[in-house]
Structure 1
Amino acid sequence: MEWITDPQIWISFLTLTVLEIVLGIDNIVFISIQSNKLPLEQQKKARQIGLLLALVMRVALLFSIKWVMGLTAPLFNFGEMFDIENVAVARYLELSGRDLILFIGGLFLIYKSTTEIHHKVEGHAEAAIKNGKVVTFSSVIIQILILDIVFSLDSVITAVGMVDQIGVMIASVIVAVGIMLVSAESISNFVNNHPSVKMLALAFLLLIGVSLTAEAFDQHIPKGYIYFAMAFSVLVEWLNIRSAKKAADKAAKL
């Protein structure tokens, strides 16, 4: 029980929890957008299952730390296969298990974001509903599961790089997912009630997909830049929403 009085452990726990919440923003936005396609009575259940799957995968991966860290070892070296002598170029052509997962997940996220934006702009989603084409619960969960795997792997590798104690990692992940579970409905309702915010969220999911594919080839884009851009854009959009609401209230009084 000495850990209770160890300030270093508490600092690590709080830092990692905050980081896990930040890393989970992409996950929860994707879950919210996908679950909103379902009938109202199924949306909450889909969000809960999606986040619980994310929790289970994160904890399972933490208990498989040796395997997770082994995913960073190169599986393929295309530089050697094609006799590329330039060391810098050859390094970018090394692909590990983690790189493959990030690459496939990034492409999937780019595809989903692009098609969602296209359907939103062209009105295909509304047309599909009118024609009776209903998205199934299982298809939404499968899509959420695919992205959960990618985001969970990124989250766990980040945790392993920051903290040594597995107990701290697991506690941080549980608290972070718990906070996401509590806030999921509010975020989902906000995104669903504001079409411009949904479009903004899809644009940033597209950006995250590009970031994941770039990272698969060792082209690291600092997440701080991405999240700052997201926060700034959300702030501007929030000001627009408030401005529009005030204008509507003023017009209603006239």
Structure 2
Amino acid sequence: MFGFSNEIIIALFTLTMMEIVLGIDNIIFIAILVARLDIKDQAKIRNIGIGLALVIRIGLLFSISWVMTLTEPLFTILNYSFSGRDLILLGGGLFLIAKSTFEIHHKVEGDPEHALPDDAKSTKKASPGGMLAQILVLDIVFSLDSVITAVGMVSHVGVMVVAMIISMVVMLASAGKISAFVEKHPTIKILALSFLILIGVMLVAESMGQHVSKGYIYFAMAFSLAVESLNIRYRTKNRVKNS
């Protein structure tokens, strides 16, 4: 176990904040996915998905020696060396791009189920099992990135575990509100999906050895969300004025 020195406390706080930031895209994607489930299943599947993310991250931490071997090259194609980590990031990035593009198309083009009678609409709902499988794929991708970041920042496994548990508790507490907010504001949903495509592109670039600073991406996300929040406030004010 570790003692609570100033260095440990600072490391714990810094890593916890970093894990929360890294977990935001995970929460947003889970929120968008579970919105396609029946209302009664949404909270349960969302919490299970976040819980699985915690289990995966702690499991990866305690097998960190194996995780580090994932960085060793497996094969080379056109002067690009691919490791196990690269393949996971590549697969996860392509999945994010494809899934987010499909969701944007689904939102923009409209849902064909609206043309169906009520009894047929119920058959169009996604299954909890299938949705959980998709969440699990993303949990693995985001967890790998999160664990490698944690190992680069802190040398104490105990600090990493505590930071991840705290960040997951924060995610569980805020996931419902984030889901409700994203579902209430369609423009936020499209914006979030667009950024998930950007994150997918970044993961594909990372898998090919092209490092992209996450600081640029998170700044762009924060700036766009700030602008969109002003738009939401403006539209709300206009609706109140015109009502």
TM interval, shorter chain, is: over 0.9
Q: Is 2:235 the counterpart of 1:244? A: yes
TM-score (norm 1): 0.91
Residue matched to 1:85:
none
After the TM superposition, which residues 1-254 of structure 1 pair with which residues of structure 2 at under 5 Å, given as runs?
3-4=3-4, 6-78=5-77, 90=79, 93-124=80-111, 126-127=113-114, 131-132=120-121, 133-252=124-243
Q: Across the two proteins, how many residue pairs are aligned to each other?
A: 239
Q: Deviations over 1:40-89 (max 9, x none)?
A: 1111101100000000000000000100111011111235xxxxxxxxxx
Runs of 5+ consecutive residues of structure 2 not aligned to the other structure? none
- Closer, same or farther in 2 for the Cα pair 1:222/1:134, shift >3 Å? same
Paired residue secondary structure (1:241): helix
Paired residue secondary structure (2:125): coil
The one-letter code of the counterpart of 2:102 is T
Q: Deviations over 1:199-221 (max 9, x none)?
A: 00100011110000000001111
- Closer, same or farther in 2 for the Cα pair 1:244/1:99, shift >3 Å? same
TM-score (norm 2): 0.95
Residue 3 of structure 1: how far off its partner (Å):
1.2
CA RMSD of aligned residues (A): 1.4
Residue 126 of structure 1: how far off its partner (Å):
4.4
Query: Which is greater in Rg?
Result: 1
Paired residue secondary structure (1:221): coil
Q: Deviations over 1:75-113 (max 9, x none)?
A: 11235xxxxxxxxxx3xx010000000000000000000
The one-letter code of the counterpart of 1:120 is K
Residue matched to 1:87:
none
Indicate the percent of aligned positions where both proteins have the same amino acid.
57
Residue 125 of structure 1: how far off its partner (Å):
5.8
The one-letter code of the counterpart of 2:3 is W
Q: Deviations over 1:148-188 (max 9, x none)?
A: 00000000001011111000000000000110000000000
